[in-house]
Amino acid sequence: MQVNNELSILTQQTQLSKNLQAIANKVMASERISTDDALVLFEEGEIGFLGMLANHIREKKHGQKTYFNRNFHIEPTNVCVFSCAFCSYSKLYKHREDGWELSIDQMMDIVKKYDGIPVTEVHIVGGVHPKLDLDFFCDLLQQIKTHRPDLHRKGFTAVELDYMFRKAKLTRQEGLQKLKDAGLQSLPGGGAEIFAPNIRKQICDDKIDGDGWLDIHKTAHQLGMHTNATMLYGHIESYADRVDHMYRLRMLQDETQGFNCFIPLKFRNKDNDMSHIAESSIIEDMKLYAVARIFMDNFSHLKAYWPMLGRSSAQLMMSFGVDDLDGTIDDSTKIYSMAGSEEQNPSLTTEQLRELISSVGRIPVERDTLYNEVEN
């Protein structure tokens, strides 16, 4: 097998430490690595070594395939009751004159703009607005479902959901069931940030904690709804904080098998309260994706969200474990462009996204939200 030969050559060239050699042996034997192993990879692993291991796992799971979907975003509002230090997107409710608030009719106009276009998913996520409550979003979901029942409806971070449910005086199970009955089919992964309480206290102290985020996703899984998982990296967290975050996700996935994919999200420092913190280097980005692919063994898919990373960086990550680039995405999504991402107008046609993938030797495969391949 070519990768074993590459490992042998790399071992001879770099004189791997005993710890790194042991981890490589585990990966080649399809054995799970420990949290201590993951820390060693972060602290000692050279980028070529990490990339080789991550790509081995990626190709074992998916061969040369890289997935994408045809989707569009609806962002109901950027007005928010919370004040996260890393956020460049939201406007506090008391300053809401600087933000936007869409009505149901306005959001349905966005949906109708795609009539006759073969999109498969609408992604609904935004700020936490006190007047846009659970009943409001149930009404929206019902109207989307009635207008276009074939469109997969993915929406609402755990942060949004926690606020909705508390305001409605419903349990998480009751609230999620109500949304599911109205037409919600899956959850995105936003709001996870970093689970470590000491870091969370500094960057997003006033919103749901890590335990609460995990419980909402566990409850969704128990109701038969798939979800995604994210991690915000490259700010004030340590390698140990990253590993702890991924470990807690891996444990929940062992229990429920309800996560579709893991999506690392790079911290961007434009126009927020953490602008003094330098962004991570491309080497650190590659390291993070590679270690995530090696450690998150029970997650089928690792996604590089191209509007946040930029097209060229997303292409590069396909050699460091990534097998999914998200979707075509209309340029209505502002969450990362407002934070200074590489993509200020994040929109690609299907043909452009296919070329982005195929130009680096991978095979573009259109999928739906649940990773069923779509026939073209």
Q: Structure pTM? A: 0.90
Domain boundaries, the chain: 2-62, 66-366
* CB neighbourhood size of 130 (10 A): 12
* CB neighbourhood size of 114 (10 A): 16
Q: What is the DSSP string of 44-78?
A: H--HHHHHHHHHHHHHHHHTTEEEEE-EEEE--B-
Domain 66-366 has CATH 3.20.20.70: yes
Predicted local confidence at residue 330, as pLDDT: 56
- pLDDT (tens, 9 = 90+) of the chain, 376 residues, equals 455 566 555 555 556 889 999 999 999 999 999 999 999 999 999 999 999 999 999 999 999 999 999 999 999 988 887 777 777 655 554 455 567 889 999 999 999 999 999 999 999 998 888 888 999 999 999 999 999 999 999 999 999 999 999 999 999 999 999 999 999 999 999 999 999 999 999 988 888 999 999 999 999 999 999 999 999 999 999 999 999 999 999 999 999 999 999 999 999 877 777 888 889 999 999 999 999 999 999 999 999 988 888 888 999 999 999 999 987 665 444 444 444 445 445 567 888 889 999 999 999 999 999 999 998 6
Q: What is the DSSP string of 109-168?
A: HHHHTTTTS---EEEE-----TTS-HHHHHHHHHHHHHH-TTSEEEE--HHHHHHHHHHH
Predicted local confidence at residue 167, as pLDDT: 95
Q: Which residue has the tokens 């936490």?
A: 128
Region of 144 please: left (phi>0), alpha (psi -120 to 50) or beta: alpha
Predicted local confidence at residue 189, as pLDDT: 96
